[in-house]
Structure 1
């Protein structure tokens, strides 16, 4: 009966996944429509502006949003605690506007954002802040009280509104970047306000002795202890993320930026399950760690990380062989030069899901110092690597000049290395065995099965490409179901669970036949 409770992990995950499928489908469609209607140049400009301020967010946040969610997840907190954090959020916003809007000289602004007007830059800054800071923090408050379903409904509603706004602007012939950014500002500020109202912090639910002891000084100290190790990580993270997109814009141009941004959108579809489970997993791991329930921590981590890795591999194997056809169908010939970038980025979510779960595990159990040191080393290597991938070969220190493909290669290779280092550390910390074989087996089999399925349908049939893709998907899924049945451990399932699942299927089929 526990699994049927509205606040159970399974119920919240199903609700979150269902809403994410709907919302991500709408967001994905909206993103593709914007990319197609704006064209590679303007879409690349938009992608660069938003990505630059997503990087800038790290410079000021210094993991305070992660600390906020972790502290809220452990126990009910006072209104003073919540107010303290929102004051800090306000300071971040005002400081950002002061720097970008007033203090930076025009030549510096033009050099950083490649000739964009200051007004457009400020609109992009505020739009990013409303979505990635205001909305993210407010939704974390609701998630901390297990309001997953209401948060997902609100998020889905805002996504539908944004699609309607984009279509309206296009039909009116006014689909311009300033209006798109203004729409994002209005939509996500409203969403943040409604999400924040879902959180209640009645003092009666808190430990009275703890509430009385909470002062501005004690709250600051709590955040400082958590966030201090992340200061160098956040600042280098800003340099790392900004360097990636700035060098791509500087040496590749807006079109290469657009190819990479489109590939990122496709890659995000494969992260649906991870996105749906991440905050729920964070909440449950933090709570289990607080109780000292190490068995639950281990069970959740191993089951979730392996299962989600296989889902990512399943998506990559099915989509990668059809990258060229997908771009032509959905975006048109203007984006076909980004085919290889898309193929590479289909691989990125496979290990990104594993990395997000590993990072969440380190955050939720407060093993932050080790996570920071590892991340710092990887980012230093990454900044050096991206230079050689993107820089043209005529410079004093020549590079390969690979454009969006070079950035995608760097992202995938370093992702594989970094997440396995984190996984090894987690296994060492908790005394578990580090196992990597499921990664090679799962991804290798999925890619092989995907190409086999495409070869079969293309060789034997001369149908329209959409029909070929549909038949290929059916063949691919049958091949992968066979793989999971024969070697269930690649999907994070043991033989006993597979037998139980098989028994349930047989019973269901038997009942239907009797009816």
Structure 2
């Protein structure tokens, strides 16, 4: 197995490479789309795609995680793939039916206020292709085929950014041409992932991936997935309701422009998470395998080792984004998006707890404790929607009417609270250090914010322009990176490592180099 399956470090390296290649796609898209579409159409595009993305997540109901965990443990079981292809077709049919319903004026006007109805079917296909691509990518991760899978993603990401840039410079980038470009990119990526899966299966088992499924096998898989996922139905429904409702409230109370400002802040925060997201699926796979051996201690060691490191990597980008919010908005959105500066600065903190949240959640998924996830989703729905209403509603409806800024505050605060509750609950049955991890979250964030602010002030004294100056922005980034690297070298606990672990890593590196 060691010879045929690359090591965790090598698979992470290739995932990181693919995410680095994806950074230009995100940066170019977020520098081009707001300028090409304008705040209102950009807000319409974001609202429609988010709505159907949440619908795909609801229809998933945790089945993709069940599929990933099961395939990680039973890699030679082709019936799992055949069964989940049928699940994907069901998700597609329901998504298209919902999009058709949106074309009925009373329904569309209620659920997509002030958004053109013709965006619904376009957004439905986009959301399905995005979700299905993630499923195929996780299939390759479960089979240990991360390296070729990420090479496919890297190549197609670079082609996609060239195509988008060409459309913009030819003045041909509209919402219709944008969807066409996205369909080609997402469809090609999904097809590339499938070729990797098919090739790996044929190489290992000497036969094509079985897509036929006998009736008794279909019934057995249905029972397995139902037993795993039916407690998650309530969680999926509540998550879908809450995430859709908060964007709907912003659209209803403030319109498409504020929706566009929040969308820009959300996309910038996603760019901060790219480097961390490369590692989380791989650790989730290791957690699933460890639980398959009933090794709770190994699960605790994985989280204690990697969660603080991933948090610091996310915080490195988040703190710089928060401090340099004005310059980033100028780069990405231009003058029309000046009102998005504060939402961007607040949402910069959103990626901090995504890694912790995914790892803590994967503990419940791997161990089958999905009822805890359901109960937590119910609680989050109550305090999350209450917070959203308080911050978004106008004064005559007992709210503060803060628009995109309010939704950004709600998103960051609720996630911070929920993730730490997940982490505390996970620590009840997996030996991980909750209080040490919580303290690390606070002091490492404070240190990075102080370094980012100090580097910004030094760069302002260099005479390269004001807060929105691009040369000054890059100088601040270079200074900040050097300071963070020096700080991590002096204080390894900043990365969640002890000095002994650092010495062992250095010895291992020297041996490998030798």
TM over 0.5: yes
- The partner residue of 2:296 within 294, 297, 316 is 294
Structure 1 residues without counterparts, runs of 5 or longer: none
CA distance in 2, matches of 1:300, 1:505: 20
Give the Å deviation of 1:104. Answer: 6.5
Range 289-298 or range 59-68, more displaced: 289-298
CA distance in 2, matches of 1:204, 1:177: 44
Range 138-147 or range 336-345, more displaced: 138-147
Give the Å deviation of 1:386. Answer: 0.5
CA distance in 2, matches of 1:57, 1:39: 27
Match runs of 1:105-504 below 5 Å? 105-132=104-131, 134-200=132-198, 201=201, 215-394=217-396, 397-435=397-435, 436-458=438-460, 460-464=461-465, 465-500=469-504
CA distance in 2, matches of 1:199, 1:503: 37
Give the Å deviation of 1:228. Answer: 0.8
Range 55-64 or range 339-348, more displaced: 55-64
CA distance in 2, matches of 1:410, 1:452: 28
Q: 1:225 and 1:471, CA in 2 relative to 1: closer, same or farther beyond 3 A?
A: same
CA distance in 2, matches of 1:56, 1:68: 19
CA distance in 2, matches of 1:131, 1:247: 25
Give the Å deviation of 1:126. Answer: 0.8
State the TM-score, normalizing by the size of structure 1.
0.90
Give the Å deviation of 1:38. Answer: 1.3
CA distance in 2, matches of 1:316, 1:146: 31
CA distance in 2, matches of 1:103, 1:259: 24
Alpha carbons 1:285, 1:300 under 8 Å: kept? yes
Q: 1:433 and 1:149, CA in 2 relative to 1: closer, same or farther beyond 3 A?
A: closer
Give the Å deviation of 1:66. Answer: 1.3
The answer for the alignment partner of 2:210 in structure 1 is none
Q: 1:5 and 1:308, CA in 2 relative to 1: closer, same or farther beyond 3 A?
A: farther
Give the Å deviation of 1:78. Answer: 3.2
Measured on the aligned residues, the alpha-carbon RMSD in Å equals 2.8
Alpha carbons 2:287, 2:299 under 8 Å: kept? yes
Residue aligned with 1:429, SS: coil
Give the Å deviation of 1:137. Answer: 1.7
Alpha carbons 2:17, 2:154 under 8 Å: kept? no
CA distance in 2, matches of 1:22, 1:93: 29
Residue aligned with 1:270, SS: helix
Residue aligned with 2:53, SS: helix
Q: 1:373 and 1:166, CA in 2 relative to 1: closer, same or farther beyond 3 A?
A: same
Range 477-486 or range 339-348, more displaced: 477-486
Deviations 1:267-291 (A, max 9, x none): 1122123210122112111112112
Range 194-203 or range 367-376, more displaced: 194-203
The answer for the alignment partner of 2:87 in structure 1 is 88
Structure 2 residues without counterparts, runs of 5 or longer: 208-212
Match runs of 1:66-85 below 5 Å? 66-85=65-84
Q: 1:102 and 1:450, CA in 2 relative to 1: closer, same or farther beyond 3 A?
A: closer
Give the Å deviation of 1:417. Answer: 0.8
Deviations 1:211-266 (A, max 9, x none): 99961111111101110110000011111110121111121221211111111121
Range 238-247 or range 115-124, more displaced: 115-124
Number of aligned residue pairs = 501
Residue aligned with 2:285, SS: helix
Q: 1:27 and 1:478, CA in 2 relative to 1: closer, same or farther beyond 3 A?
A: closer
CA distance in 2, matches of 1:273, 1:362: 24
CA distance in 2, matches of 1:506, 1:87: 49
The answer for the alignment partner of 2:56 in structure 1 is 57
Q: 1:179 and 1:137, CA in 2 relative to 1: closer, same or farther beyond 3 A?
A: same
Q: 1:306 and 1:213, CA in 2 relative to 1: closer, same or farther beyond 3 A?
A: farther
Q: 1:39 and 1:429, CA in 2 relative to 1: closer, same or farther beyond 3 A?
A: same
Alpha carbons 1:488, 1:498 under 8 Å: kept? yes
